[in-house]
Structure 1
């Protein structure tokens, strides 16, 4: 099935990186000028000088809760889509009118603007990789109201040259009937709803022979379900997208991770910080989008993933990620006090001997204890150096968290590569 959506997918790595780094300072300067939120967040930053990943990594990460807080503050101030007090919290470069045909809502409530550019959410690339081609009919079972998922997929399908049946959610028997009569080339929606539709069709004794491919998102797509669909003649592929950013990564026929979209700059950082991790290490996905209408700079998705080595066997040359590996927000409450991943990072940064750290909370609720596990340089693992480092870290734990904790020094490479900065190992019985 290997056939590429456009030449961008097979660019040499150096060419792609040069193009992204050339676009980055323009996007940051644009955000500072047209997004009041980023004018404040990046105050004093010379946007034209942000032209490398190393310099980008010095900028603050903006996380979803901060976006929500700014939106809520703007609403309370009576924002009406114009000026610095708008309902988008100052993040949108667009205002109500012809250039913003839709506004959507995500849980929170967070509001997202939709612009008028063709394939605004950049979903056509993922659809093409899943096997959809111009001239086909696509059955779209993502929601069309409140959330942007339905529109994200529809605008991508139109950009690809496809016709869309807006099935939306629910009404399973009617979905089966429409598929049987309209004969779409495939399905787009959540994987679990596709399974429900296929099972309902079998129950109704209705054949769906044309539905041979699917692009799924919005929830986990385990290999067991992928194989279950394959046994019924449906090749399912997944993509990773968000209402804030649009497409981030997509699956190919190689089925080895997810290839990054061409319109985003992705970093993997240590949870609770903005510090990039080593390639292959699990951390939080931080995305800078090149969308000028909603120019999110170093936006923390809250999702964990890791970069895969090498390039995709399909021939696409962009970097790949492993896919969704959990959530980065590992905040816990210990003896009535909240402890955040950022605090763990703050403690570790104080000691150059510490290579990696993890806080393990154990015991039972209301009778719990903290163990600060650190990978330390070999030279610190003996005698006075060992004792002195343990004492200094213990004091830092108390200073930062206002709680007492024990310190356990480990050899380099001892902690698992799973993105966990805080492990809650308490018994909840």
Structure 2
């Protein structure tokens, strides 16, 4: 049984009636309260009253990340600041940070979305959880915290970092669930092995991971090394944080909280809508948020939708795990390449660890890709011939599956800096400008 079976198992026709009602209310709200959206709507020659059906969403303008930066910090806030009870923000590593103001009602809705997410992952009232997400401006730590509290869990708010202490507390306190990024879960597993702690024998049996793209191969690696079920929480600061979409026991796609978010898939180049099952860019519209609703926000995440009966009983739309980001896509020898595709192929190679970086450079006018990946213990020690064999094996595998030539550099174990948050997987050395 889901946490909120009224909505999570709602028949499609009834759900769509609810969505349309909230959609119209949101359009009226942003047109009245946010000058940016009023101007965008007027430029398109459309009034909120012209929207009669969910399909009319394609008539509306889109919102992009630069719109949020141009209106930094609170130009897109629809309520007076004395009604804002919390503000989160992105890291701002690629420009001005993206701010996320919340009303009391917004926090309540976010908390419910996170409670659904965690309950779906198998967490129950009374469970102890260890929250190793960063607590602060980043939405992860507090988002997971408030969802777990809503469920009635005991929360150990360790925050990120201090990996040995994380392992010690998992052992001493006996938490059932761990929250962190997938790359940090691998760091914890690796450090536990070094500490001679058998993490598979500990009470922890569930991990809920997010905040960065991760492949099914990485999920399998985490489950094998930690002896847990690795579940996913998908979200964005722009939409509220984690809890936008989530895994269920089927681990076969993420259920979107459709009573809170209206989802679309469009062609990332033409921006035209794509039919169910087609891979494209994920677009979200807020349906219930008050402080900073987003209209047709371009996530840049690439996925596809499925509307199907799920074994868990939920009727919410499913999206596949994120394949990559449209702005992360590389063009190597005329082939579109996502970092996640390289990751999946690396995980096919028994001699390497799931620790790698992709280095993008220029050779003349063309982009060039090099892959640095750590070898498993004993491979480098076996000598240069063995190292060259594995490098050739990886190169041939990538060429055979993707049709591109990639320079491979096999590194000694522990060479690549470990992540305590989001992993840095791509180093772009191409000249700027």
Displacement of 1:207:
5.3
Match of 1:101 in 2: 86
Counterpart secondary structure, 1:150: helix
Change (3 A) 1:298 1:166: same
Contact 2:232 2:247 in 1 (8 A): yes
Correspondence for 1:120 among 107, 110, 117: 110
1:221-236 equivalent positions in 2, closer than 5 A: 221-231=214-224, 232-236=226-230
Change (3 A) 1:250 1:427: closer
- After TM superposition, the score normalised by the length of structure 2 is 0.69
Counterpart secondary structure, 2:81: coil
| CA distance in 1: counterparts of 2:33 and 2:58, whole angstroms | 22
Displacement of 1:260:
1.1
1:132-171 equivalent positions in 2, closer than 5 A: 132-171=123-162
Aligned residues: CA RMSD: 3.0
Match of 2:175 in 1: 184
Displacement of 1:259:
1.2
Displacement of 1:329:
3.4
Displacement of 1:328:
2.2
Correspondence for 1:254 among 250, 266, 271: 250
Contact 2:284 2:296 in 1 (8 A): yes
Q: Give deviations 1:185-218, integer Å, cap 9, x for gaps.
A: 2011111212222332333344552211011002
Q: Give deviations 1:166-198, integer Å, cap 9, x for gaps.
A: 211110111112222222120111112122223
Change (3 A) 1:366 1:198: closer
Match of 1:50 in 2: 51
Q: Give deviations 1:36-81, integer Å, cap 9, x for gaps.
A: 322222235321332423211110111112222232xxxxxxxxxx
Counterpart secondary structure, 1:62: coil
| CA distance in 2: counterparts of 1:37 and 1:288, whole angstroms | 16
| CA distance in 1: counterparts of 2:214 and 2:69, whole angstroms | 28
Contact 1:288 1:297 in 2 (8 A): yes
| CA distance in 2: counterparts of 1:181 and 1:40, whole angstroms | 57
Change (3 A) 1:10 1:115: same
Unaligned runs of 5+ in 2: 332-361, 368-403, 408-429
Contact 1:241 1:249 in 2 (8 A): yes
Match of 1:61 in 2: 62
Change (3 A) 1:51 1:313: farther
Unaligned runs of 5+ in 1: 72-86, 334-362, 369-424
Pair 1:268 & 2:265 matched: yes
Change (3 A) 1:253 1:93: same
Change (3 A) 1:214 1:189: same
Contact 1:289 1:297 in 2 (8 A): yes
Contact 1:173 1:200 in 2 (8 A): yes
More displaced 10-residue stretch of structure 1: 105-114 or 12-21: 105-114
Displacement of 1:138:
1.5
Contact 1:5 1:128 in 2 (8 A): no
Q: Give deviations 1:286-343, integer Å, cap 9, x for gaps.
A: 100121221101111011111125232322111111121122238999xxxxxxxxxx
| CA distance in 2: counterparts of 1:186 and 1:202, whole angstroms | 19
Correspondence for 2:304 among 282, 303, 306: 306
Counterpart secondary structure, 2:308: coil
Match of 1:110 in 2: 98
Contact 1:311 1:319 in 2 (8 A): no
Contact 1:279 1:306 in 2 (8 A): yes
Structure number with bigger Rg: 1
| CA distance in 2: counterparts of 1:367 and 1:40, whole angstroms | 41
Displacement of 1:364:
7.2
| CA distance in 1: counterparts of 2:261 and 2:174, whole angstroms | 35
Change (3 A) 1:4 1:241: same
Q: Structure with the greater relative contact order (CA < 8 A, sep ≥ 6): 1 or 2?
A: 2
Displacement of 1:23:
1.1
Contact 2:98 2:237 in 1 (8 A): no
Pair 1:212 & 2:209 matched: no
